[in-house]
Structures are given as structure tokens and as C-alpha cells.
Structure 1
């Protein structure tokens, strides 16, 4: 899948939190449910995504996120970084988070995320279905889902 067909939107970085959404244009991406999802702790996302597709039609992406754990500072007093994978569904239909996989608690996190994308993304109803935690929840998912 190429970037010429999809636009990635990341904003709200000024306070060390990111929002990522997908759309054919930045304006369309900003209107998707994923553009309204944020994690309370400071966070960042990797720029690399794994596209999941059926033939030439993408239906989901998997992206690694880093979540700051203020409750577990390192020796310099900085929050430790916890890693998780986010499965996001793509059109047709709304763009939203489908599943979270804690990358530290699950040695096979990539495989779990791929299976979650393949099993759930196409049938997921944004706004109705709950985001699934796949595998062992772990600290990153705990931080990301705490409100």
C-alpha cells in the first residue's frame, strides 16, 4: 500500500501526546473517530505501519505506540517507556482503534496484532464495539486504557 492513497494525521504533539488517524486527505482523517482518541499519559507513535490487506484493499494498520509510565521513573527520574501495538480499522466505514496488544507482556505481540486485525477489523463497529485487549494486558495497555 502506498502513501499516495492514504494520509496519516498526527497532531496534539505540543503537549507530548499524539493522535493518529487515516483518511484519503488530512481533512477526512480529522473527521474520523480515530482522530478523537488520545491516551492520557504522554505518548508517541512510530512512523512505520504494517498494512493488513485482502488482495489490494487495505482494511487495517498496525502501529507501535510508546506510552510514558510516570509511576516507574528511570534512574534519572524520567518516565519509562512502555510499548504497545494499536490495530486500527480502515474504510470502508469509519477509522478507529480495534485492538491493543502490549508489546512487552506478549513475546509474540506482532503475531497477535496481525491476528486481531485479520479477525476483528473488518467487522468492527466504531462507536459500538469496545476496543479489544489481545493477549496479556501488561503495563502499556493498562496506562493507555486508564481514564
Structure 2
């Protein structure tokens, strides 16, 4: 092989390696609204529903399970409903009453989801509205996905961080894939605020 041919081959290999490393990362969105999901369980006392679980569709075949019990929610995901139910995220709830928005942002690399971002509303009993009901404080939760376990990796206080969405995407892109659910500590990204205080209170 001539020196020029060798150089050309080397440049092609370098270019291929660069393409492999710089896989495109982007977002898609899915719904967890009751109308877009299937109810799979319900807990009632008389006519009052105290708890329920819904299965919702995510991208690339992912299944999302949104569960509510005593005005507190958990959200988990996996390739099947059974796998999703067995993830750490299925048990990662918060002490105060809370709820989620109906939209999940999925972060994907080369079309494969590796993390999801969802907005939570945490009830603040120390901040009642005019009717005596607690106002809520907003927080973004970043959850890592398979391969490996699905679990919370980062919390972002929305009020304390004007660029909360960008911080959440940055945390997802930089932390989620290397996060070990069995030993790594959940990161508070950006400035802490009341939502984080309520979330971490024990």
C-alpha cells in the first residue's frame, strides 16, 4: 500500500471512530394521561379509589407503569410491564403527597432511550393556599433506563433553576448511563430549593 493510500485508510478509520463516539442524542415525548394508558389495578374503599396503576406506552417498545397510592405516585419503565415493576424506580416515592405531569421526555442516543425526565409536584404543607390546601413545588426527576436497572439519578428544583429543563437533559446525558442504582447517590443538579428540601426530608 502506498503512503497516500495508507493515509487515506487511516483517515477513514478515524472518521468512522468519530461517528461512533458522536452518536446523536435527542428527545421524544410520551403521555401518561389516564386516557392514553390502560388501568391494570385499582384499590377502592366503597366508591372511593385510593390507589391505581396504569400501563402506558413509551418509545422503542418501553412500557411505563404509573402507580398511585394514598395521593403519592411512582413511575417506572422497562421493556415489559413485569420488568418495569421489578425496577428500583417502582419503589422510589416521596414522603409528601405528590403527583406527576402527564408528559415524559425521553433522552435517546442513536434512537435508543437511555433516560427519562418527568416533572413532579410535591405538596408543601407549610405553604397552604387560600382554601388551606398545600401548594406544590415542582421538581424534575431524571430516571436511568436499561441496560441495567431503572432508578432515579438526579433531581432538579424547577423554581431554584430557571434553566431546569436544560439541567435535567445535561444530567440525563452525562450521568444516567454510568449510574449504578445499587450504590450511587442521587445527584441534586443545579441549585437546591424547597422542592428538594421536601423530597429529601425524612
TM-score, normalization by structure 1: 0.95
Residue 86 (structure 1) shift: 0.3
| Structure 2: 5+ residue stretches without partners | 1-27, 29-56
Counterpart residue number, 1:129? 184
In 2: Cα distance, 1:114 partner to 1:52 partner: 8
Match for residue 22 of structure 1 among 72, 77, 88: 77
Match for residue 161 of structure 2 among 106, 111, 121: 106
Match for residue 91 of structure 1 among 146, 152, 161: 146
In 1: Cα distance, 2:182 partner to 2:150 partner: 10
Counterpart residue number, 1:64? 119
**Based on CA coordinates, which of the two structures has the bigger radius of gyration?**
2
- Give 3-state SS (helix, strand or coil) of 1:35's partner: helix
Match for residue 73 of structure 1 among 121, 128, 143: 128
Q: Which runs of 4+ in 1 moved over 6 A?
A: none
- Give 3-state SS (helix, strand or coil) of 2:95's partner: coil
| Structure 1: 5+ residue stretches without partners | none
Counterpart residue number, 2:106? 51
Residue 14 (structure 1) shift: 3.6
Residue 74 (structure 1) shift: 1.1
- Give 3-state SS (helix, strand or coil) of 1:40's partner: coil
| RMSD (Å), alpha carbons | 1.2
In 2: Cα distance, 1:113 partner to 1:65 partner: 13
- Give 3-state SS (helix, strand or coil) of 2:174's partner: helix
1:10 aligns to 2:66 (yes or no): yes
- Give 3-state SS (helix, strand or coil) of 2:197's partner: helix
Deviations 1:36-85 (A, max 9, x none): 11100000011211111111111101100000001111111110110000
In 2: Cα distance, 1:63 partner to 1:120 partner: 16
In 1: Cα distance, 2:184 partner to 2:160 partner: 24
In 2: Cα distance, 1:67 partner to 1:48 partner: 16
In 1: Cα distance, 2:69 partner to 2:143 partner: 23
